[in-house]
Structure 1
Amino acid sequence: MTATTAEPGLRERKKAATRQALYEAAVRLAVAHGADNVTVEAVADEAGVSRRTFSNYFANKDEALLHGDRVRMAEMVGMIRERPAAEDAWTALSRTALACYASQGTLDPQWVEQVRLLRQHPALLSQQARVYASAERELAAAVAERLDDPDDRGLRARLMIATFLGAMRVALHVWLENADTTDIQDITADALAEAGRGFGNT
């Protein structure tokens, strides 16, 4: 491979690293000082870049704070599509969710709780709703590819995704309440098994 053909890949990796650094800086500052007290300038300084560089990646601080959600959802869609074709839809969703947690390693309950509360900030809720609505459509499309029965209106696929995300949210809350004695993967597996009883072999 020549230097010329390799350059775009390197450029994209550098851009992704800068975007991730800005996201992490925004979350650190928001958790430490509150979302209302964080400015774009402060995020740029924390990440070691200019204000202009920040604007090349995000329109505002709220968009930066929700970048992690967009990345996680996009990764989940990709992972579901890469699951073995023989897996039914709910199995593919469940195994993808557990694989995501496994790849994250040990989570700090206090940090997760702080970030969860941060996402409930009023200024973020409308943007968060748009992020999740888009992700739900993409997840439903990935699930629809695995359904044996016709689902012309996409009803079953969308119900499945709503149930799946609800189970994930409940599992996270239960884990936060019992983090000293439980493992998030175990709770998530149990929650998905309970929620998926009506979606077996789809």
Structure 2
Amino acid sequence: MTEGLRERKKRETRIALSWAAVRLVVERGYGNVKLEDIAAEAGVSLRTFRNYFTSKAEAIAARQVDRGYTVNAALRERPADEPLWEAVRAAVNAGFELGVEGGGQQLPDDKWLAGVRLMVTEPALQGAMAGAQAAVTEELVAVVAERTGASGIYPRLVAEVIGAAQLAATHEWLRADPPRPMFDLFHEVLDRITAGLPEPS
């Protein structure tokens, strides 16, 4: 279904507000950013901000939510005869195109990385991110069940493994020295999963 102009504008505003929240919090620190600051950065009113989000944490977590739902939608659209983990890899690429500046293929700037490290220690944001991941995972369980025809524990296991893969890649991205692109890290994780997680030689 083709996206209408109104829906596209709403989506673009949501993305602009979320990225504004991320940028400002990374640059200034979580406690030094007000909702009014985020709205002004995105070029909208505070009322418009409140039409989309209830808090800074929710606005920041929206990047994870949107990326996750993009992956789910892309997985649903992959060819039916494509092996599951090949389809997952292609779907993840679609999520990176949406969810990470530079498609996740650029090396993180040291100052930006330091700000993100500080940002993710904020308890309110941790709660919002956990809630966001749970909602995305529930949808992904349904997508995997539809794609494979499986029931029982398998769709849940696949969805939780994908979530764990994202978490592992993110943790490594935050601590890697020298820094590594998120895109490479996530694909390394997928490589290890599809190989059966053999012990490193």
TM-score w.r.t. length of structure 1 = 0.79
Distance of 2:46 and 2:173 partners within structure 1? 38
Tell me which of 49, 52, 55 is aligned to 1:54. 49
More deviation, 43-52/97-106? 97-106
> Unaligned regions of 5+ residues in structure 2, if any?
none
Letter in 2 for 1:156: Y
Q: Secondary structure at the match of 2:147?
A: coil
Q: Secondary structure at the match of 2:82?
A: coil
Q: Secondary structure at the match of 1:109?
A: coil
Aligned residue number for residue 118 of structure 1: 119
Aligned residue number for residue 58 of structure 2: 63
**RMSD over aligned Cα atoms:** 2.7
Q: Secondary structure at the match of 1:145?
A: helix
Identity of aligned residues (%): 39
1:121-132 alignment to 2 at 5 Å?
A: 121-132=122-133
Q: Secondary structure at the match of 2:4?
A: helix
Distance of 1:183 and 1:61 partners within structure 2? 26
> Do structure 1's residue 78 and structure 2's residue 73 form an aligned pair?
yes
Aligned residue number for residue 166 of structure 1: 164
Distance of 1:140 and 1:55 partners within structure 2? 30
Q: Is the 8 A contact 2:145 2:155 kept in 1?
A: yes
More deviation, 82-91/70-79? 82-91
Distance of 1:65 and 1:133 partners within structure 2? 16
Q: Is the 8 A contact 2:75 2:143 kept in 1?
A: yes
> Unaligned regions of 5+ residues in structure 1, if any?
1-5
